[in-house]
Chain A
Amino acid sequence: MISVINIDKSFDSKKVLNNLKQDFALAEVHGIIGLNGAGKTTFFNILSSFMKTDSGEILYNRKKISRNDVAYLETINFFYSKITGKEYLEIFPLTNQQFELEKINKLLKLPFDEIIETYSTGMKKKLALMAIIKQDKPIYIFDEPYNGLDLETNMALEIIIRNLQKKEKTIFVSSHILSPLLNVCDEIHLLQQGSFSKNYTKENFNNIEKELFEDFNKSASEIIADSI
Chain B
Amino acid sequence: MIKWILIKVRIHQIKRQLNELGIGYAFILLAFLTTLIFYVYLAYTQKEKSLFLFIISILSILAIQISRRDKEFIFNHIDHPVQNIFAEYFILTLPVTITSLFTSHWFYFPLIILAFYFIANIKIRLKQRTVFPKLSKIISPYDFEWLSGLRKTYAGIVIFLLLACITCWIRILPLIFLWFITTSVASFYQECESLPVLFASSISPQNLLKKKMVKSIQFLIMMLIPILILNSIFNPGFILINIIFLLIQITILIFAILLKYTTYSPNETLKGNTLLLSMVSIGSLIPFVLPIPLIMCFRNYSKAIKNLNFYFND
Known: A67-B199, A117-B128. A83 touches B141 (CB 8 A): yes
Which of B129-168 touch A at CB < 8 Å?
A: 129-130, 133-134, 136, 140-142, 144-145, 147-149, 151-152
Chain B CB within 8 A of A80 CB: yes
- Closest CB of chain A to B212's CB: distance in Å? 14
User: Beta-carbon contacts of A2-40 to B below 8 Å, as 1s and 0s?
Assistant: 000000000000000000000000000000000000000
Q: Which residues of A contact B194 (CB under 8 A)?
A: 74, 77-80
Please name the residue on chain B nearest to A87 by beta carbon: B141
User: Beta-carbon contacts of A39-64 to B below 8 Å, as 1s and 0s?
Assistant: 00000000001100000000000001
- Closest CB of chain A to B131's CB: distance in Å? 8
Known: A87-B136, A90-B141, A118-B128. A82 touches B148 (CB 8 A): yes
Q: Which residues of A contact B147 (CB under 8 A)?
A: 82-83, 87
Which of A136-188 touch B at CB < 8 Å?
A: none
Interface of A is mostly: loop
Please name the residue on chain A nearest to B199 by beta carbon: A67
Q: Which residues of B contact A196 (CB under 8 A)?
A: none
Q: Which of A49, A77, A82, A92 has the most CB of B within 10 A?
A: A82
Cα of A65 to Cα of B314 in the assembled complex, Å: 8
Contact B314 A86 (CB under 8 A): no
Contact B133 A84 (CB under 8 A): yes
Chain A residues within 8 Å of B, Cβ to Cβ:
49-50, 64-67, 72, 74, 77-84, 86-88, 90-93, 113-115, 117-118, 131
Chain A CB within 8 A of B200 CB: yes
Cα of A92 to Cα of B201 in the assembled complex, Å: 8
Known: A50-B195, A82-B152. A91 touches B128 (CB 8 A): no
Cα of A90 to Cα of B197 in the assembled complex, Å: 10
Q: Which residues of B contact A91 (CB under 8 A)?
A: 141-142, 144, 197, 200-201
Known: A78-B266, A80-B197. A113 touches B133 (CB 8 A): yes
> By the criterion of a CB under 8 Å from any partner CB, how many residues of chain B are at the interface?
28
- Closest CB of chain B to A140's CB: distance in Å? 13
Please name the residue on chain A nearest to B311 by beta carbon: A50
Contact A84 B314 (CB under 8 A): no
Cα of A79 to Cα of B200 in the assembled complex, Å: 14
Cα of A50 to Cα of B129 in the assembled complex, Å: 33
Please name the residue on chain B nearest to A77 by beta carbon: B194
Q: Which residues of B contact A117 (CB under 8 A)?
A: 128
Q: Which residues of A contact B149 (CB under 8 A)?
A: 82
Cα of A90 to Cα of B201 in the assembled complex, Å: 10
Q: Which residues of B contact A82 (CB under 8 A)?
A: 147-149, 151-152
Chain A CB within 8 A of B237 CB: no
Which of B100-137 touch A at CB < 8 Å?
A: 128-130, 133-134, 136
User: Beta-carbon contacts of B219-242 to A below 8 Å, as 1s and 0s?
Assistant: 000000000000000000000000
Cα of A131 to Cα of B201 in the assembled complex, Å: 13
Known: A67-B314, A78-B266. A84 touches B195 (CB 8 A): no
Q: Which residues of A contact B201 (CB under 8 A)?
A: 91
Q: Which residues of B contact A80 (CB under 8 A)?
A: 144-145, 148, 191, 193-194, 197
Cα of A88 to Cα of B130 in the assembled complex, Å: 14
Contact B144 A83 (CB under 8 A): yes
Q: Return 22 A-B CB contacts under 8 Å, by A number.
A: A49-B314, A64-B314, A67-B199, A67-B314, A74-B196, A77-B194, A78-B194, A80-B194, A82-B151, A83-B144, A83-B148, A86-B141, A87-B141, A87-B144, A87-B147, A90-B136, A91-B197, A92-B200, A113-B133, A114-B133, A118-B129, A131-B196
